[in-house]
Structure 1
Amino acid sequence: MIGYTMVGTKDLDRAVVFYDAIFTEMGFTRCFKDDQVSFWGDKVNVEAPRFATGYPFNGEIANVGNGGMTAFLIDSTVKIDRLYAIAMGLGGSDEGPPGLRPHYGKGFYAAYLRDPDGNKIAFVC
């Protein structure tokens, strides 16, 4: 259903450093980058969903809306803990440390954070 998700940035080089580390840990590579945008995902399967960050097409400054979030499905709590630590070390900000969230379902484990531009992301399993 989803082709790609994109979040805005005010500093593409900083965002690429942040997301390169996150997606390398997740086993994905950067598929494309130019001076406006960068994409990560499966280079071979063009039908697989991808994630992008870049400058807004209209040339205005990227804004972060409240309520928007991209959640990445991760296969283990250990990997969520690692991803959260990587993100925090690269300028991410905490929105909810790794842990169980029983109010979302039995065994639901997640970490919530914002990237250096303030975009909210989550790692869940």
Structure 2
Amino acid sequence: MIGYTMVGTNDLRKAEAFYDPLMVELGLERCFSDEVMFSWGRKTDDDVPRFMVGLPFDGEVASVGNGNMTAFRSEQAGLVDRLYALALKNGGSSEGEPGLRPQYGPGFYAAYVRDPDGNKLAFVCYDAKIDDQEK
């Protein structure tokens, strides 16, 4: 259903330093880059949605929409923990520490961050097991 998601940035190099380690940890590869944007996904599999970060095409300042969020799915809670730590290490800010969110379903484990431009991201595991939560 999703082909790609794109978020805006006002500093492409800062965004690259923030997102590259996250995408590596997620097992995604750089698919495209030029002087205005980057994308990650799987070069040989167009069925994997791509995630893109770029300067706004209209030349205006990138702004964040209230209520917008991109969620990256993980098979293990431990990966959620690692992604959250990487995001904070590379210039992100916390919007919710890793943990179970039973209001969204049994085993729903998530962490929430904002990138350096303020775009909100979630790292989620839908069926976390207690032993998954090892760092």
- Tell me which interval the TM-score lies in, with the shorter structure as reference length: over 0.9
C-alpha distance in 1, partners of 2:48/2:107? 27
Correspondences of 1:76-91 after superposition (within 5 Å): 76-91=76-91
| TM-score with structure 1 setting the length | 0.98
Instruction: Please give the per-residue CA displacement for 1:16-45, whole angstroms capped at 9, x wherever unaligned.
Output: 111110000011111110000000000111
1:40 aligns with 2:47: no
Runs of at least 4 residues of structure 1 off by over 3 A?
A: none
| TM-score with structure 2 setting the length | 0.91
Aligned position for 2:2: 2
Aligned to 1:46, what secondary structure does the other structure show?
coil
Q: CA RMSD in A?
A: 0.6
Aligned position for 1:51: 51
C-alpha distance in 2, partners of 1:2/1:37? 19
Structure 1 residue 48 displacement after superposition: 2.0
Instruction: Please give the per-residue CA displacement for 1:31-87, whole angstroms capped at 9, x wherever unaligned.
Output: 110000000000111232100000011110100011000001111111110110000
Q: Which moved more, 1:46-55 or 1:88-97?
A: 46-55
C-alpha distance in 2, partners of 1:32/1:47? 16
C-alpha distance in 2, partners of 1:59/1:100? 40
1:22 aligns with 2:22: yes
Aligned residues: 125
